[in-house]
Amino acid sequence: MKMRRRAFTIVAAMLIAGAVAASARAAVAHADEARARRSADAIRAAAAIRADEAARRDAEVRFFEARVAEDPFAAADRARLAGLYLQRARETGDYADYPRAEAAARASLDARGERNAAARVALANALMAQHRFPEARREAERLVAAEPDRASYRGLLGELQMELGDYDAARATFGSLLSERGNLGVAPRLARWLEMIGRTNDARTILYQAGQDAAARGDLPPEQVAWFHLRAGDLELRNGRLDAAEDAFRAGLAVHPEDYRLLGEMAKLAAARGDNAAALALGERAVAQVLDPATLAVMSDAALAAGDRAKSEEYARVMEVSVRRQASALHRGWALFLLDGGRQIDAVAAQAEADLRVRRDVYGWDLLAWARHRQHRDGEALAAMAQALRLGTRDATLLFHAGTIEHALGHEAAAERYLRDALEINPHFHPLRAREARAVLDSIRG
């Protein structure tokens, strides 16, 4: 009798445990479903908000297009229209709006050449977006000559000096702006300069303060506020601080939901964590809005890392179409992507060499160095790499390239130092190249 009661008790306990487990599984499934519904609802709500914003902005564009059509001398209206084209280009990724902004700004300056800084600022920014840096620099120099005490104009000039690789001039310009780090027109440009010369912590401090100041302003468009969070997240991601990068990107998305730039960076973050499925899902949300080449490169690499070569090639083809829609002479992200894949090496090398005749910055030298390495011309690659490293920039990709070139030349001590530093700065700098860096280090040490 006692044994029967004990058996009954055990069976009852098993049934109860099974029921509890089933209930727990159902609860988890229900919670997952609820989260998925909330996420889908949030995406739909964000899409509706963005559609509403876009409709208002497009209505404003049409309004000013109509005004300038009626008045050939309306300089202020043309300057305002140029600014609206720039804002729309940033929000939508529509490259065609940059030439439109340039045309409107030039028309405004034709109507009134003096005391028309708004048009000249718009012109400089439109030219810079088209990678026409020498022309943009001339406009920035005119702005500074007219108003030398305007810190934001000097910041714009410093950015263009930096883009062109005129680092002596950039050093002087940004040196004069250290006391203006609280100016939102200066802060992100100064932060980038400090990062370029290896002062990453100072750059981080400036960017986070700028993000707080932008959020507190109340008069900036959401996409501009989100951009400050994007810049902070970019810096954190470049330096391997993945959780901090995620916090910054999520702060930006809270301000400007479904921002394609932030979604693209979240895809890159997921790839850095080795979550290729999440990288592809986030990338799909981003490219559904804008076929951004950088995001498509992340997706191609993530698909390749996941073992889907056909999907990787598909994303690469779409990336090429997207790049060719842009009028700039050389898209460096696309060029590096080609070199990493061993494609069009000689053509990229020729483009990189031509680009350096105008734009002699460290990333131009890095591109040429990597192209020469892929051509097995490592002596020339090493000389170009010395130019790429001359500022002391703490960039894992630059150091990976330097280490790989040194290894190809048999300079194992230098190769080990560069590759070790690259992985210390950012062990996740690329889903595929970081593995290569570790493999070469292992071979050197082994």
198-255 pLDDT, tens digit each: 999 999 999 999 999 999 998 998 999 999 999 999 999 999 999 999 999 999 999 9
Look up residue 211 and give its two tokens. Answer: 């993000």
Q: Which amino acid is at 112?
A: R
DSSP state, residue 297: H
The per-residue pLDDT for 281 is 97
> 273: which 2 tokens?
């964590």
Q: Report the first-to-last Cα separation within the chain, whole angstroms.
A: 70
**Angle at alpha carbon of residue 100, lines to 94 and 102, rounded to 5°:** 115
Cα(179)–Cα(174) distance, integer angstroms: 10
- C-alpha–C-alpha distance, residues 391 and 396, integer Å: 14
In 50-126, DSSP assigns E strands to none
Could you say which residues of the chain have pLDDT below 70?
Answer: 1-50, 327-329
pLDDT reported for residue 11: 47
